[in-house]
Chains A and B, each alone.
Chain A
Amino acid sequence: MAEALTPNQRAWLRLRRNKPAVVSAAFLLLMLALALLVPMLSPHAADHGSDAQFAAPGAIHWFGTDVHGRDVFTRVFAGARISLLVGAVGTAVSLVIGVCWGLVAGYVGGRLDGLMMRFVDVLYSLPSIIFVIVLITTLETLFKRLLTQIAPELSGSARLLFLFVGLGAVSWLTMARIVRGQVLSLRHRPFVLASQALGAGHARILFRHILPNVTGIVIVYLTLTVPAIVLYESFLSYLGLGIQPPQASLGTLIAEGAAQINPIRVYWWLVVCPGSVLALTLLALNFLGDGLRDALDPRAE
Protein backbone atom coordinates (compact mmCIF):
# COMPACT_ATOMS: atom_id res chain seq x y z
CA MET A 1 0.00 0.00 0.00
CA ALA A 2 1.52 3.25 -1.08
CA GLU A 3 1.59 6.19 1.22
CA ALA A 4 -1.12 8.76 0.50
CA LEU A 5 0.37 11.69 -1.36
CA THR A 6 -0.56 15.32 -0.92
CA PRO A 7 -1.91 17.06 -4.03
CA ASN A 8 1.37 18.94 -4.34
CA GLN A 9 3.41 15.74 -4.28
CA ARG A 10 1.18 14.23 -6.92
CA ALA A 11 1.55 17.33 -9.08
CA TRP A 12 5.32 17.10 -8.70
CA LEU A 13 5.25 13.45 -9.74
CA ARG A 14 3.17 14.24 -12.79
CA LEU A 15 5.53 17.04 -13.74
CA ARG A 16 8.56 14.77 -13.48
CA ARG A 17 6.94 12.20 -15.74
CA ASN A 18 6.38 14.85 -18.42
CA LYS A 19 9.51 14.50 -20.58
CA PRO A 20 9.25 17.73 -22.59
CA ALA A 21 8.71 19.71 -19.38
CA VAL A 22 11.73 18.13 -17.68
CA VAL A 23 13.96 18.67 -20.69
CA SER A 24 12.73 22.26 -20.92
CA ALA A 25 13.43 22.89 -17.26
CA ALA A 26 16.94 21.51 -17.68
CA PHE A 27 17.47 23.64 -20.77
CA LEU A 28 16.27 26.75 -18.96
CA LEU A 29 18.65 26.09 -16.08
CA LEU A 30 21.49 25.70 -18.57
CA MET A 31 20.42 28.90 -20.28
CA LEU A 32 20.33 30.74 -16.96
CA ALA A 33 23.80 29.47 -16.08
CA LEU A 34 25.17 30.47 -19.49
CA ALA A 35 23.54 33.90 -19.27
CA LEU A 36 25.12 34.45 -15.88
CA LEU A 37 28.55 32.93 -16.54
CA VAL A 38 29.41 33.58 -20.18
CA PRO A 39 29.62 37.39 -19.92
CA MET A 40 31.83 36.99 -16.83
CA LEU A 41 34.13 34.23 -18.03
CA SER A 42 34.38 34.96 -21.73
CA PRO A 43 37.80 36.19 -22.93
CA HIS A 44 35.94 38.76 -25.07
CA ALA A 45 33.98 41.50 -23.34
CA ALA A 46 30.43 41.97 -24.65
CA ASP A 47 30.95 45.59 -25.68
CA HIS A 48 34.63 45.42 -26.62
CA GLY A 49 35.27 45.98 -30.31
CA SER A 50 38.16 44.54 -32.32
CA ASP A 51 39.52 44.63 -35.84
CA ALA A 52 37.99 41.25 -36.66
CA GLN A 53 34.85 42.60 -38.35
CA PHE A 54 32.19 40.12 -39.47
CA ALA A 55 34.28 37.06 -38.71
CA ALA A 56 32.32 33.89 -39.42
CA PRO A 57 31.73 31.50 -36.52
CA GLY A 58 34.95 29.64 -35.74
CA ALA A 59 37.26 28.42 -33.01
CA ILE A 60 37.99 31.87 -31.53
CA HIS A 61 34.56 33.47 -31.95
CA TRP A 62 32.04 30.64 -31.61
CA PHE A 63 29.15 32.69 -32.94
CA GLY A 64 31.29 34.97 -35.11
CA THR A 65 31.67 38.73 -34.70
CA ASP A 66 29.52 41.72 -35.59
CA VAL A 67 30.06 45.02 -37.38
CA HIS A 68 32.33 46.38 -34.63
CA GLY A 69 34.20 43.09 -34.29
CA ARG A 70 32.44 42.26 -31.04
CA ASP A 71 32.13 38.61 -30.04
CA VAL A 72 28.56 37.51 -30.79
CA PHE A 73 28.70 34.54 -28.40
CA THR A 74 29.32 36.82 -25.44
CA ARG A 75 26.82 39.37 -26.66
CA VAL A 76 24.09 36.78 -27.15
CA PHE A 77 24.33 35.54 -23.59
CA ALA A 78 24.69 39.02 -22.15
CA GLY A 79 21.54 39.82 -24.15
CA ALA A 80 19.80 36.69 -22.91
CA ARG A 81 20.58 37.81 -19.37
CA ILE A 82 18.75 41.10 -19.92
CA SER A 83 15.87 39.44 -21.76
CA LEU A 84 15.39 36.90 -18.99
CA LEU A 85 15.68 39.62 -16.34
CA VAL A 86 12.98 41.69 -18.03
CA GLY A 87 10.84 38.56 -18.39
CA ALA A 88 11.18 37.67 -14.72
CA VAL A 89 10.72 41.13 -13.23
CA GLY A 90 7.97 42.09 -15.68
CA THR A 91 6.11 38.91 -14.77
CA ALA A 92 6.51 39.71 -11.08
CA VAL A 93 5.01 43.16 -11.65
CA SER A 94 2.09 41.69 -13.59
CA LEU A 95 1.66 39.11 -10.83
CA VAL A 96 1.36 41.75 -8.11
CA ILE A 97 -1.07 43.92 -10.07
CA GLY A 98 -3.14 41.05 -11.43
CA VAL A 99 -3.47 39.15 -8.16
CA CYS A 100 -4.30 42.25 -6.12
CA TRP A 101 -6.83 43.44 -8.69
CA GLY A 102 -8.52 40.05 -8.99
CA LEU A 103 -8.46 39.46 -5.24
CA VAL A 104 -10.09 42.77 -4.41
CA ALA A 105 -12.65 42.56 -7.22
CA GLY A 106 -13.62 39.00 -6.44
CA TYR A 107 -13.66 39.40 -2.66
CA VAL A 108 -15.43 42.72 -2.34
CA GLY A 109 -17.84 41.96 -5.18
CA GLY A 110 -20.87 44.03 -6.06
CA ARG A 111 -20.46 47.44 -7.66
CA LEU A 112 -16.70 47.62 -7.18
CA ASP A 113 -16.29 44.25 -8.86
CA GLY A 114 -18.38 45.40 -11.80
CA LEU A 115 -16.40 48.60 -12.12
CA MET A 116 -13.00 46.92 -11.88
CA MET A 117 -13.90 44.23 -14.37
CA ARG A 118 -15.37 46.71 -16.87
CA PHE A 119 -12.02 48.49 -16.68
CA VAL A 120 -10.28 45.22 -17.53
CA ASP A 121 -12.74 44.69 -20.40
CA VAL A 122 -11.93 48.09 -21.85
CA LEU A 123 -8.20 47.43 -21.68
CA TYR A 124 -8.80 44.03 -23.25
CA SER A 125 -10.54 45.58 -26.20
CA LEU A 126 -7.50 47.70 -26.97
CA PRO A 127 -5.14 46.01 -29.40
CA SER A 128 -2.40 45.03 -26.94
CA ILE A 129 0.64 45.70 -29.11
CA ILE A 130 -0.58 49.16 -30.03
CA PHE A 131 -1.37 49.81 -26.40
CA VAL A 132 2.14 48.83 -25.31
CA ILE A 133 3.79 51.01 -27.92
CA VAL A 134 1.69 54.06 -27.11
CA LEU A 135 2.17 53.54 -23.39
CA ILE A 136 5.92 53.07 -23.65
CA THR A 137 6.57 55.98 -25.97
CA THR A 138 4.33 58.46 -24.17
CA LEU A 139 5.00 57.70 -20.53
CA GLU A 140 8.72 57.11 -20.80
CA THR A 141 9.79 60.74 -20.46
CA LEU A 142 7.40 61.17 -17.57
CA PHE A 143 8.88 58.14 -15.88
CA LYS A 144 12.43 59.35 -16.46
CA ARG A 145 11.62 62.72 -14.95
CA LEU A 146 10.06 61.09 -11.94
CA LEU A 147 13.02 58.79 -11.48
CA THR A 148 15.58 61.58 -11.57
CA GLN A 149 13.69 63.25 -8.76
CA ILE A 150 13.28 60.19 -6.57
CA ALA A 151 16.46 58.27 -7.24
CA PRO A 152 18.87 60.09 -9.53
CA GLU A 153 21.51 57.36 -9.22
CA LEU A 154 19.18 54.96 -11.07
CA SER A 155 18.46 57.23 -14.01
CA GLY A 156 21.11 55.46 -16.10
CA SER A 157 18.99 52.33 -16.29
CA ALA A 158 15.71 54.22 -16.61
CA ARG A 159 14.79 52.38 -19.78
CA LEU A 160 15.27 48.97 -18.20
CA LEU A 161 13.25 49.89 -15.11
CA PHE A 162 10.56 51.38 -17.29
CA LEU A 163 10.33 48.20 -19.34
CA PHE A 164 9.85 46.21 -16.13
CA VAL A 165 6.96 48.41 -15.08
CA GLY A 166 5.50 48.99 -18.54
CA LEU A 167 5.46 45.36 -19.64
CA GLY A 168 4.16 44.23 -16.28
CA ALA A 169 1.47 46.88 -16.45
CA VAL A 170 0.05 45.58 -19.72
CA SER A 171 0.26 41.86 -18.95
CA TRP A 172 -1.87 41.55 -15.84
CA LEU A 173 -5.34 41.47 -17.40
CA THR A 174 -5.75 37.72 -17.84
CA MET A 175 -4.23 37.12 -14.41
CA ALA A 176 -6.77 39.47 -12.83
CA ARG A 177 -9.64 37.69 -14.57
CA ILE A 178 -8.47 34.24 -13.55
CA VAL A 179 -7.87 35.20 -9.91
CA ARG A 180 -11.18 37.02 -9.67
CA GLY A 181 -13.06 34.00 -11.01
CA GLN A 182 -11.37 31.71 -8.52
CA VAL A 183 -11.92 34.05 -5.58
CA LEU A 184 -15.56 34.47 -6.52
CA SER A 185 -16.13 30.72 -6.37
CA LEU A 186 -14.01 30.21 -3.24
CA ARG A 187 -15.66 32.97 -1.27
CA HIS A 188 -18.89 31.08 -0.72
CA ARG A 189 -17.35 27.68 -0.10
CA PRO A 190 -18.24 26.16 3.27
CA PHE A 191 -14.70 26.34 4.65
CA VAL A 192 -14.57 30.08 4.08
CA LEU A 193 -18.02 30.59 5.57
CA ALA A 194 -17.00 28.47 8.55
CA SER A 195 -13.92 30.57 9.11
CA GLN A 196 -16.06 33.68 8.84
CA ALA A 197 -18.52 32.32 11.36
CA LEU A 198 -15.63 31.67 13.76
CA GLY A 199 -14.87 35.37 13.59
CA ALA A 200 -11.89 35.47 11.24
CA GLY A 201 -11.09 38.89 9.83
CA HIS A 202 -10.89 39.73 6.13
CA ALA A 203 -7.12 39.61 6.12
CA ARG A 204 -7.06 36.15 7.67
CA ILE A 205 -9.65 34.81 5.23
CA LEU A 206 -7.85 36.29 2.26
CA PHE A 207 -4.35 35.21 3.15
CA ARG A 208 -4.99 31.93 4.99
CA HIS A 209 -7.89 30.51 3.03
CA ILE A 210 -8.30 32.10 -0.35
CA LEU A 211 -4.78 32.92 -1.48
CA PRO A 212 -3.35 29.40 -0.95
CA ASN A 213 -6.16 28.02 -3.09
CA VAL A 214 -5.40 30.21 -6.05
CA THR A 215 -1.63 29.59 -6.01
CA GLY A 216 -1.76 26.65 -8.40
CA ILE A 217 -3.52 28.41 -11.19
CA VAL A 218 -1.46 31.54 -10.61
CA ILE A 219 1.79 29.59 -10.98
CA VAL A 220 0.59 28.02 -14.21
CA TYR A 221 -0.39 31.31 -15.68
CA LEU A 222 2.82 32.89 -14.42
CA THR A 223 5.01 30.49 -16.37
CA LEU A 224 3.04 31.31 -19.48
CA THR A 225 3.43 35.06 -18.85
CA VAL A 226 7.24 34.90 -18.81
CA PRO A 227 7.63 33.92 -22.48
CA ALA A 228 4.99 36.46 -23.47
CA ILE A 229 6.92 39.25 -21.77
CA VAL A 230 10.28 38.06 -23.11
CA LEU A 231 8.75 38.13 -26.59
CA TYR A 232 7.24 41.57 -26.01
CA GLU A 233 10.57 42.94 -24.83
CA SER A 234 12.55 41.61 -27.78
CA PHE A 235 9.84 42.83 -30.07
CA LEU A 236 10.02 46.35 -28.63
CA SER A 237 13.80 46.25 -28.67
CA TYR A 238 13.64 45.18 -32.29
CA LEU A 239 11.57 48.28 -33.04
CA GLY A 240 14.10 50.39 -31.14
CA LEU A 241 11.72 51.08 -28.27
CA GLY A 242 13.22 48.69 -25.77
CA ILE A 243 16.72 48.24 -24.39
CA GLN A 244 19.10 50.96 -25.58
CA PRO A 245 22.80 50.62 -26.45
CA PRO A 246 25.31 49.97 -24.94
CA GLN A 247 23.01 47.47 -23.25
CA ALA A 248 21.60 44.84 -25.57
CA SER A 249 18.86 42.26 -25.34
CA LEU A 250 18.18 39.42 -27.76
CA GLY A 251 15.74 41.64 -29.64
CA THR A 252 18.35 44.39 -30.09
CA LEU A 253 20.87 41.84 -31.34
CA ILE A 254 18.41 40.47 -33.89
CA ALA A 255 17.63 44.00 -35.05
CA GLU A 256 21.36 44.72 -35.41
CA GLY A 257 21.75 41.54 -37.42
CA ALA A 258 18.77 42.36 -39.62
CA ALA A 259 20.21 45.82 -40.25
CA GLN A 260 23.35 44.20 -41.71
CA ILE A 261 21.41 42.36 -44.39
CA ASN A 262 22.76 43.38 -47.74
CA PRO A 263 22.80 41.86 -51.21
CA ILE A 264 26.57 41.40 -51.32
CA ARG A 265 27.44 39.32 -48.29
CA VAL A 266 25.13 37.38 -45.99
CA TYR A 267 26.09 37.52 -42.32
CA TRP A 268 23.62 34.84 -41.27
CA TRP A 269 25.09 34.28 -37.83
CA LEU A 270 24.09 37.75 -36.69
CA VAL A 271 20.41 36.76 -36.98
CA VAL A 272 20.54 33.00 -36.54
CA CYS A 273 22.49 32.93 -33.25
CA PRO A 274 20.42 35.37 -31.17
CA GLY A 275 17.27 34.24 -33.00
CA SER A 276 17.68 30.58 -32.17
CA VAL A 277 18.61 31.31 -28.55
CA LEU A 278 15.44 33.39 -28.26
CA ALA A 279 13.28 30.80 -30.01
CA LEU A 280 14.62 27.90 -27.92
CA THR A 281 14.10 29.86 -24.71
CA LEU A 282 10.52 30.69 -25.66
CA LEU A 283 9.93 27.07 -26.64
CA ALA A 284 11.27 25.77 -23.33
CA LEU A 285 9.26 28.28 -21.30
CA ASN A 286 6.08 27.31 -23.13
CA PHE A 287 6.70 23.59 -22.67
CA LEU A 288 7.37 24.08 -18.99
CA GLY A 289 4.18 26.12 -18.66
CA ASP A 290 2.15 23.45 -20.43
CA GLY A 291 3.72 20.77 -18.25
CA LEU A 292 2.91 22.70 -15.09
CA ARG A 293 -0.66 23.18 -16.24
CA ASP A 294 -1.08 19.47 -16.84
CA ALA A 295 0.56 18.71 -13.50
CA LEU A 296 -1.43 21.15 -11.39
CA ASP A 297 -4.75 20.60 -13.11
CA PRO A 298 -6.64 18.11 -10.95
CA ARG A 299 -8.81 17.06 -13.88
CA ALA A 300 -5.73 15.46 -15.43
CA GLU A 301 -6.06 12.51 -13.00
Chain B
Amino acid sequence: MSFIKNLMNIFGSQDDAEKINRISKVFAALKKHNRKALIPFITAGDPNPQITVQLMHQMVQSGADIIELGVPFSDPMADGPTIQRSSERALKHHVSLKGVLDMVSEFRKTDTATPVVLMGYANPVEAMGFAVFAAKAKDCGVDGVLIVDYPPEESAEWVQCLEQQEIDAIFLLSPTTPQERIAQVAKMARGYVYYVSLKGVTGASHLDLQDVGAMLTQLRQHISLPIGVGFGIRDGATAKAVAGLADAVVVGSRIIEEIEKSAETELLSNVGSLIGTLRKAIDEN
Protein backbone atom coordinates (compact mmCIF):
# COMPACT_ATOMS: atom_id res chain seq x y z
CA MET B 1 0.00 0.00 0.00
CA SER B 2 2.64 2.49 1.06
CA PHE B 3 4.71 1.36 -1.92
CA ILE B 4 1.94 2.33 -4.29
CA LYS B 5 1.41 5.58 -2.42
CA ASN B 6 5.10 6.40 -2.77
CA LEU B 7 5.00 5.52 -6.41
CA MET B 8 2.02 7.81 -6.92
CA ASN B 9 3.79 10.58 -5.05
CA ILE B 10 6.79 10.22 -7.28
CA PHE B 11 4.73 10.34 -10.44
CA GLY B 12 2.55 13.07 -9.03
CA SER B 13 5.47 15.31 -8.16
CA GLN B 14 7.16 14.75 -11.51
CA ASP B 15 3.97 15.70 -13.23
CA ASP B 16 3.70 18.86 -11.12
CA ALA B 17 7.32 19.73 -11.72
CA GLU B 18 6.82 19.56 -15.45
CA LYS B 19 3.82 21.78 -15.18
CA ILE B 20 5.44 24.51 -13.17
CA ASN B 21 9.18 24.36 -13.58
CA ARG B 22 9.69 27.47 -15.61
CA ILE B 23 13.48 27.23 -15.55
CA SER B 24 13.77 23.88 -17.32
CA LYS B 25 11.00 24.92 -19.70
CA VAL B 26 12.90 28.02 -20.74
CA PHE B 27 16.16 26.14 -21.28
CA ALA B 28 14.37 23.41 -23.25
CA ALA B 29 12.71 25.96 -25.52
CA LEU B 30 15.96 27.84 -26.11
CA LYS B 31 17.80 24.63 -26.89
CA LYS B 32 15.23 23.75 -29.50
CA HIS B 33 16.02 26.96 -31.34
CA ASN B 34 19.73 26.73 -30.63
CA ARG B 35 19.69 29.93 -28.61
CA LYS B 36 21.38 30.91 -25.35
CA ALA B 37 19.73 32.39 -22.27
CA LEU B 38 20.23 35.97 -21.14
CA ILE B 39 19.96 36.30 -17.36
CA PRO B 40 20.14 39.86 -16.03
CA PHE B 41 20.60 40.58 -12.32
CA ILE B 42 19.14 43.55 -10.49
CA THR B 43 18.82 44.23 -6.77
CA ALA B 44 15.22 44.37 -5.61
CA GLY B 45 14.39 47.87 -4.43
CA ASP B 46 17.23 49.60 -6.29
CA PRO B 47 16.96 52.53 -6.77
CA ASN B 48 13.50 52.34 -5.17
CA PRO B 49 10.96 49.60 -4.44
CA GLN B 50 8.29 51.04 -6.75
CA ILE B 51 10.30 50.58 -9.93
CA THR B 52 11.53 46.99 -9.47
CA VAL B 53 8.54 45.16 -10.95
CA GLN B 54 8.43 47.56 -13.91
CA LEU B 55 12.15 46.93 -14.46
CA MET B 56 11.56 43.18 -14.43
CA HIS B 57 8.85 43.49 -17.09
CA GLN B 58 11.02 45.85 -19.12
CA MET B 59 13.93 43.40 -19.08
CA VAL B 60 11.65 40.57 -20.24
CA GLN B 61 10.31 42.71 -23.08
CA SER B 62 13.85 43.59 -24.13
CA GLY B 63 14.96 39.98 -24.28
CA ALA B 64 15.74 38.58 -20.82
CA ASP B 65 14.96 34.87 -20.42
CA ILE B 66 15.34 34.51 -16.65
CA ILE B 67 15.54 37.23 -14.00
CA GLU B 68 17.90 37.09 -11.08
CA LEU B 69 16.54 39.30 -8.35
CA GLY B 70 18.99 40.27 -5.61
CA VAL B 71 17.78 40.32 -2.01
CA PRO B 72 19.55 43.28 -0.39
CA PHE B 73 21.77 42.54 2.61
CA SER B 74 23.67 44.79 4.99
CA ASP B 75 26.95 42.84 4.55
CA PRO B 76 27.33 41.68 0.93
CA MET B 77 30.73 40.07 1.39
CA ALA B 78 31.03 38.52 -2.09
CA ASP B 79 30.08 41.64 -4.01
CA GLY B 80 32.15 44.44 -5.44
CA PRO B 81 31.41 48.14 -4.92
CA THR B 82 28.70 48.42 -7.62
CA ILE B 83 26.39 45.76 -6.18
CA GLN B 84 27.23 46.87 -2.63
CA ARG B 85 25.93 50.32 -3.49
CA SER B 86 22.77 48.91 -5.01
CA SER B 87 22.15 46.92 -1.83
CA GLU B 88 22.67 50.06 0.26
CA ARG B 89 20.21 52.04 -1.91
CA ALA B 90 17.58 49.31 -1.48
CA LEU B 91 18.14 49.09 2.27
CA LYS B 92 17.59 52.84 2.60
CA HIS B 93 14.03 51.96 1.58
CA HIS B 94 13.96 49.12 4.15
CA VAL B 95 13.48 46.46 1.49
CA SER B 96 13.15 43.13 3.34
CA LEU B 97 13.07 39.54 2.12
CA LYS B 98 9.31 39.60 2.57
CA GLY B 99 9.18 42.78 0.51
CA VAL B 100 11.15 41.08 -2.27
CA LEU B 101 8.74 38.13 -2.27
CA ASP B 102 5.84 40.56 -2.58
CA MET B 103 7.52 42.07 -5.65
CA VAL B 104 7.71 38.62 -7.24
CA SER B 105 3.98 38.12 -6.52
CA GLU B 106 3.26 41.42 -8.20
CA PHE B 107 5.39 40.47 -11.22
CA ARG B 108 3.55 37.13 -11.52
CA LYS B 109 0.19 38.90 -11.92
CA THR B 110 1.07 39.63 -15.53
CA ASP B 111 3.99 37.31 -16.27
CA THR B 112 3.51 33.64 -15.50
CA ALA B 113 6.23 32.38 -17.83
CA THR B 114 9.54 34.09 -17.03
CA PRO B 115 11.51 32.31 -14.31
CA VAL B 116 12.56 34.38 -11.32
CA VAL B 117 15.61 33.36 -9.28
CA LEU B 118 16.31 35.05 -5.96
CA MET B 119 19.96 35.64 -5.18
CA GLY B 120 21.29 36.81 -1.85
CA TYR B 121 22.95 36.02 1.45
CA ALA B 122 22.09 33.55 4.16
CA ASN B 123 21.00 35.69 7.08
CA PRO B 124 17.68 37.02 5.77
CA VAL B 125 16.49 33.44 5.09
CA GLU B 126 17.93 32.31 8.43
CA ALA B 127 15.87 35.01 10.13
CA MET B 128 12.67 34.02 8.27
CA GLY B 129 13.28 30.27 8.70
CA PHE B 130 13.92 27.83 5.83
CA ALA B 131 10.49 26.21 5.76
CA VAL B 132 8.54 29.47 6.07
CA PHE B 133 10.67 31.04 3.36
CA ALA B 134 10.35 28.11 0.96
CA ALA B 135 6.56 27.97 1.33
CA LYS B 136 6.19 31.73 0.80
CA ALA B 137 8.61 31.72 -2.12
CA LYS B 138 6.58 28.98 -3.78
CA ASP B 139 3.32 30.91 -3.24
CA CYS B 140 4.83 34.05 -4.74
CA GLY B 141 6.10 32.27 -7.84
CA VAL B 142 9.85 32.05 -7.19
CA ASP B 143 11.52 29.36 -9.32
CA GLY B 144 15.03 29.14 -7.95
CA VAL B 145 17.20 30.49 -5.13
CA LEU B 146 20.94 31.06 -4.96
CA ILE B 147 22.34 31.85 -1.53
CA VAL B 148 25.92 32.94 -2.05
CA ASP B 149 27.14 31.86 1.38
CA TYR B 150 25.45 28.45 1.46
CA PRO B 151 28.02 26.15 -0.14
CA PRO B 152 26.89 22.53 -0.64
CA GLU B 153 28.59 21.44 2.61
CA GLU B 154 26.22 23.56 4.67
CA SER B 155 23.14 23.13 2.50
CA ALA B 156 21.55 19.74 3.25
CA GLU B 157 18.59 21.09 5.22
CA TRP B 158 18.24 24.14 3.02
CA VAL B 159 18.07 22.11 -0.20
CA GLN B 160 15.54 19.76 1.38
CA CYS B 161 13.24 22.66 2.25
CA LEU B 162 13.48 24.04 -1.28
CA GLU B 163 12.86 20.64 -2.84
CA GLN B 164 9.72 20.14 -0.80
CA GLN B 165 8.38 23.25 -2.52
CA GLU B 166 9.85 22.32 -5.91
CA ILE B 167 12.10 25.34 -5.96
CA ASP B 168 15.47 24.90 -7.64
CA ALA B 169 18.60 25.25 -5.50
CA ILE B 170 21.11 27.05 -7.69
CA PHE B 171 24.80 26.67 -6.84
CA LEU B 172 27.97 28.47 -7.84
CA LEU B 173 31.11 26.98 -9.31
CA SER B 174 34.36 28.89 -9.63
CA PRO B 175 37.73 28.62 -11.37
CA THR B 176 39.14 27.34 -8.06
CA THR B 177 36.57 24.54 -7.64
CA PRO B 178 38.45 21.21 -7.73
CA GLN B 179 37.21 18.24 -9.79
CA GLU B 180 35.77 16.23 -6.90
CA ARG B 181 33.69 19.17 -5.72
CA ILE B 182 32.22 19.67 -9.19
CA ALA B 183 30.67 16.22 -8.90
CA GLN B 184 29.40 17.00 -5.41
CA VAL B 185 27.80 20.26 -6.55
CA ALA B 186 26.31 18.49 -9.56
CA LYS B 187 24.42 16.15 -7.22
CA MET B 188 22.75 18.96 -5.27
CA ALA B 189 22.24 21.54 -7.99
CA ARG B 190 18.90 22.04 -9.71
CA GLY B 191 17.78 24.32 -12.55
CA TYR B 192 21.15 25.53 -13.75
CA VAL B 193 24.58 26.06 -12.28
CA TYR B 194 26.21 29.43 -12.19
CA TYR B 195 29.87 29.44 -13.14
CA VAL B 196 31.63 32.48 -11.72
CA SER B 197 34.18 33.07 -14.43
CA LEU B 198 36.59 35.14 -12.35
CA LYS B 199 38.29 35.03 -9.03
CA GLY B 200 37.30 37.93 -6.86
CA VAL B 201 34.07 39.76 -6.27
CA THR B 202 31.27 40.80 -8.61
CA GLY B 203 31.99 43.64 -10.97
CA ALA B 204 35.62 42.77 -11.63
CA SER B 205 37.09 43.05 -15.11
CA HIS B 206 39.36 40.80 -17.24
CA LEU B 207 37.57 37.76 -18.53
CA ASP B 208 39.82 35.10 -20.00
CA LEU B 209 37.64 33.32 -22.54
CA GLN B 210 40.13 30.53 -23.12
CA ASP B 211 40.10 29.67 -19.43
CA VAL B 212 36.31 29.78 -19.36
CA GLY B 213 36.10 27.47 -22.37
CA ALA B 214 38.51 24.96 -20.85
CA MET B 215 36.71 24.99 -17.52
CA LEU B 216 33.28 24.54 -19.12
CA THR B 217 34.53 21.44 -20.92
CA GLN B 218 35.56 20.04 -17.53
CA LEU B 219 32.28 21.02 -15.90
CA ARG B 220 30.23 19.34 -18.60
CA GLN B 221 31.85 15.99 -17.79
CA HIS B 222 30.00 16.08 -14.46
CA ILE B 223 27.05 18.36 -15.01
CA SER B 224 24.09 17.79 -17.28
CA LEU B 225 22.24 20.95 -16.17
CA PRO B 226 22.58 24.12 -18.24
CA ILE B 227 25.59 26.22 -17.24
CA GLY B 228 25.36 29.98 -16.87
CA VAL B 229 28.49 32.12 -16.87
CA GLY B 230 28.74 35.41 -15.04
CA PHE B 231 31.26 37.92 -13.62
CA GLY B 232 33.08 40.23 -15.99
CA ILE B 233 30.50 40.44 -18.77
CA ARG B 234 30.36 44.10 -19.59
CA ASP B 235 29.33 44.50 -23.24
CA GLY B 236 27.88 42.88 -26.32
CA ALA B 237 31.22 41.50 -27.44
CA THR B 238 31.92 39.58 -24.21
CA ALA B 239 28.26 38.49 -23.99
CA LYS B 240 28.47 37.11 -27.50
CA ALA B 241 31.74 35.32 -26.84
CA VAL B 242 30.46 33.78 -23.60
CA ALA B 243 27.22 32.72 -25.33
CA GLY B 244 29.39 30.74 -27.71
CA LEU B 245 30.63 28.66 -24.77
CA ALA B 246 27.90 28.57 -22.13
CA ASP B 247 24.14 27.92 -22.02
CA ALA B 248 23.38 31.21 -20.35
CA VAL B 249 24.98 34.62 -19.94
CA VAL B 250 24.53 36.31 -16.55
CA VAL B 251 25.00 40.09 -16.39
CA GLY B 252 24.85 41.99 -13.08
CA SER B 253 27.15 44.88 -12.29
CA ARG B 254 26.90 46.36 -15.79
CA ILE B 255 23.11 46.67 -15.45
CA ILE B 256 23.39 48.12 -11.96
CA GLU B 257 25.79 50.73 -13.35
CA GLU B 258 23.17 51.65 -15.94
CA ILE B 259 20.56 52.01 -13.19
CA GLU B 260 22.97 54.10 -11.16
CA LYS B 261 23.73 56.59 -13.89
CA SER B 262 20.22 56.91 -15.33
CA ALA B 263 17.80 59.67 -14.41
CA GLU B 264 14.61 58.15 -13.04
CA THR B 265 12.60 59.07 -16.13
CA GLU B 266 15.04 57.30 -18.43
CA LEU B 267 15.84 54.34 -16.23
CA LEU B 268 13.45 51.84 -17.82
CA SER B 269 14.36 52.74 -21.39
CA ASN B 270 18.11 52.79 -20.68
CA VAL B 271 18.08 49.37 -19.02
CA GLY B 272 15.78 48.14 -21.81
CA SER B 273 18.16 49.20 -24.53
CA LEU B 274 21.16 47.71 -22.69
CA ILE B 275 19.33 44.37 -22.41
CA GLY B 276 18.40 44.70 -26.09
CA THR B 277 22.04 45.16 -27.07
CA LEU B 278 23.11 42.15 -25.05
CA ARG B 279 20.25 40.06 -26.48
CA LYS B 280 21.21 40.93 -30.01
CA ALA B 281 24.88 40.12 -29.39
CA ILE B 282 24.03 36.78 -27.78
CA ASP B 283 21.77 35.78 -30.67
CA GLU B 284 24.56 36.54 -33.13
CA ASN B 285 26.88 33.92 -31.68
The yes or no verdict on A and B being binding partners is: no
Which residues of B approach A to under 8 Å, CB–CB? none
Which residues of A approach B to under 8 Å, CB–CB? none
